Amino acid sequence: MLKQFLSKLPRKASNLDSDESNRVDSSRSDSSAMKNHGSHGGNNNNAVKRTSSSAVFPASTVSGIEPLVPFNDVPNGERTNLLVSKLSLCCVTFDFTDPSKSIFEKDVKRRTLVELVDFVANGNTRFSEPAILAMCRMCAINLFRVFSPNYRLNRSGGENDDEPTFDPAWPHLQLVYELFLKFISSSCLDAKVAKKYIDHWFISRLLELFDSEDPRERDCLKTILHRVYEKFMVHRPFIRKSINNIFYRFVFETEKHNGVAELLEIFGSIICGFALPLKDEHKMFLWRVLIPLHKPKSVAVYSQQLSYCVTQFIEKEPKLASTVIRGLLKYWPITNSQKEVIFLGELEEILDAINMVEFQKVMVPLFWRIGYCINSLHFQVAERALFLWNNDHIVNLIAHNRQVILPIIFPALDRNSQSHWNQAVLNLTHNIRKMFMEMDEKLYLSCHSHFKEEEAISSTANEKQKEAWEQLERVASLRPVIGNTAVLVSPI
Long-range contacts of 353-358 (CB under 8 A, 24+ apart): 353/311, 353/314, 353/315, 353/318, 353/321, 354/314, 354/318, 354/321, 354/322, 354/325, 354/397, 355/318, 355/321, 356/397, 356/400, 357/319, 358/318, 358/319, 358/321, 358/322
Query: What is the pLDDT at residue 373?
Result: 95
Query: What is the pLDDT at residue 25?
Result: 43
Query: What is the pLDDT at residue 19?
Result: 43
Best CA proximity match to 176, nearest among 69, 98, 94, 278? 94
Query: What is the pLDDT at residue 60?
Result: 34
Query: Coil, strand or helix: which one is 75?
Result: coil
Query: What is the pLDDT at residue 77?
Result: 78
Query: What is the pLDDT at residue 3?
Result: 41
Query: What is the pLDDT at residue 257?
Result: 92
Best CA proximity match to 5, nearest among 61, 68, 63, 52? 52
Residue type for position 264 = L
Q: What is the DSSP letter of 77?
A: G
Query: What is the pLDDT at residue 359?
Result: 95
**Full-prediction pTM beyond 0.85?**
no
**Residue 10 · residue 19 · CB < 8 Å:** yes
Query: What is the pLDDT at residue 80?
Result: 84
What angle (nearest 5°) sits at the alpha carbon of residue 18, between those of residues 13 and 24?
Answer: 100
**Residue 143 · residue 209 · CB < 8 Å:** yes
**Residue 447 · residue 406 · CB < 8 Å:** yes
Per-residue pLDDT of the chain (492 residues; tens, 9 = 90+): 334 333 433 343 344 444 444 433 444 344 444 444 444 333 333 333 333 333 333 333 444 456 777 777 777 778 888 888 889 888 888 888 877 788 888 888 899 999 999 988 887 778 999 999 999 999 999 999 887 765 444 443 344 456 677 888 888 899 999 999 999 999 889 999 999 999 999 999 999 999 999 999 999 999 999 999 999 999 999 999 999 999 999 999 988 999 999 999 999 999 998 988 999 999 999 999 999 999 999 999 999 999 999 999 999 999 999 999 999 999 999 989 999 999 999 999 999 999 999 999 999 999 999 999 999 999 999 999 999 999 999 999 999 999 999 999 999 999 999 888 999 999 999 999 999 999 999 999 999 888 888 888 888 888 889 989 988 888 887 766 666 666 555 555
